Chain A
Amino acid sequence: MGLTNPAVQNRGDEITSVSAVSPNWVTTRLDFLTNWARANSLWPMPFGTACCAIEYMATAASRFDIARFGMERQAFSPRQADVLICAGRLPFKLAPVIRRIWDQMPQPKWSISMGACASSGGIFDNYSMVQGIDTIIPVDVYVPGCPPRPEGLMYGILLLQKKIKGESFTDESLRDEKLVGPSGLFLPPEQVDELSEPFGNSVHQTRSA
């Protein structure tokens, strides 16, 4: 990974050194270059609400060290962040908060839903908990686990990098802002209900019980 001295190494159709002209020139595709830069300088905005945040801290600390993947700087300001990592369950009371943080992040931006609760509500299938943050903000990568081990989160980060490397600079639909519409939701209400449906053991508990 990474650009190498073009005079030394030729990377096929991604990077071509034109050493015959000058050793200081290199040609590449714009998509490859922007994606390479974006994927390897993801600044995370940690949104830690629960035990997943402890695993996130472990991932960021020296043993696992996500700085290796270009996430050296934890952006505690959404305006300087690229990827929102929701680590933990999200109560309805925090829903407008994470939505505002997401809206404040500049494009291009991505999000990782870390753990069972952020992805689906987890064991908290109750009156106070958002059943998956994908009903509040768009999500790129879901990391399963309760909580996921740091290896799991790092795998999710690598998947996100892979996804970014497949994006196209000219495809503007990737940068579409999914705004909260007049209904107050960014998804149709039926879709929110479908995403929030109970599963596993909790299907035996009815809403009217």
Chain B
Amino acid sequence: MTAVTSVSPSVPALRAEFGPAIERHLVSCGDTIVYASKARSHDVLGWLKDAPGQQYDYLTDVTAVEYRDSERPLEVVYQLRSLPRRADLRVKVALDKQETLEVRSVVDLWRGADWLEREAYDMFGIVFLGHPDLRRILMWETYAEGYPLRKDFPLRGHFSRAEQTRQALAANPEAHYSLEELSIADSFDELPPDMRERLARGERGFLK
């Protein structure tokens, strides 16, 4: 079996449609990677999802990469899959670390991006503009040490173990659920009144 080195046919179509908004592309291990500009990332991804002949209807993953070279921009990675065409495409959006880490959310295109973008926010601090419920998902909501997968984050965290343990023990295990999640579970009305009131206030733990 020979290695696939050909560029995905989506690349010339993207260049014809978006011109300079497609910054560059490359082929790595047989996968085509397209760099889209931050300003038009949502248009590019929406077009890839809906345009006839593209039909990337399945969002496999949204994640981010920070490189050890501190001058290199942080990259948001969208791994797309077209179920009818059986084709893959990787789209990356470079975010300059000198600017605010913001990019348009794609939850309106693929609902599955909801938790994936929350994870990228939780681990890298990337703000997805227009996300309906951008909260931490893996770390607890009052987590105050920063964004663990950033290169400037020490492996064991910023705080001492005693302080980490103290904050963890002070957390309220019930406060991990949002008001929406509790409402969806239809259990909200059955909660004790003081807890309902506390959740309605948006209280999540002990850190203010």
Partner of B140, one of A93, A130, A180, A190: A93
Partner of B165, one of A95, A97, A198, A209: A95
Identify which of A21-29, A59-67, A68-76, A181-189 touches chain B: A181-189
Enumerate chain A residues within 8 angstroms of B176, measured Cβ to Cβ. Answer: 93
| A-side interface residues, number (CB < 8 Å) | 31
Q: Let me know if A185 and B139 touch, CB within 8 A.
A: no
Asked if B60 lies at the interface with its beta carbon under 8 angstroms from chain A, I say: no
Asked if A127 lies at the interface with its beta carbon under 8 angstroms from chain B, I say: yes
Interface centre among A95, A180, A185, A192 (most CB of B within 10 A): A95
Enumerate chain B residues within 8 angstroms of A195, measured Cβ to Cβ. Answer: 161
The 0/1 profile, CB within 8 Å of A marked 1, for residues 157-182 of chain B is 10011111111111111001000000
Asked if B155 lies at the interface with its beta carbon under 8 angstroms from chain A, I say: yes
Bound form: Cα–Cα A125–B157 in Å: 10
Enumerate chain A residues within 8 angstroms of B169, measured Cβ to Cβ. Answer: 95-96, 99, 136, 180, 184-185
**Least CB distance, A190 to chain B, in whole angstroms:** 7
Known: A126-B155, A207-B154, A209-B155. A131 touches B171 (CB 8 A): no
List 15 A–B pairs whose Cβ atoms lie within 8 Å, in order of A's numbering. Answer: A93-B139, A93-B140, A100-B173, A125-B155, A127-B154, A128-B157, A135-B165, A136-B165, A180-B169, A185-B165, A185-B166, A193-B161, A195-B161, A205-B156, A207-B156
A residues engaging B (CB < 8 A)?
A: 92-93, 95-97, 99-100, 125-128, 130-131, 135-136, 180, 183-185, 189-190, 192-193, 195-196, 198, 205-209
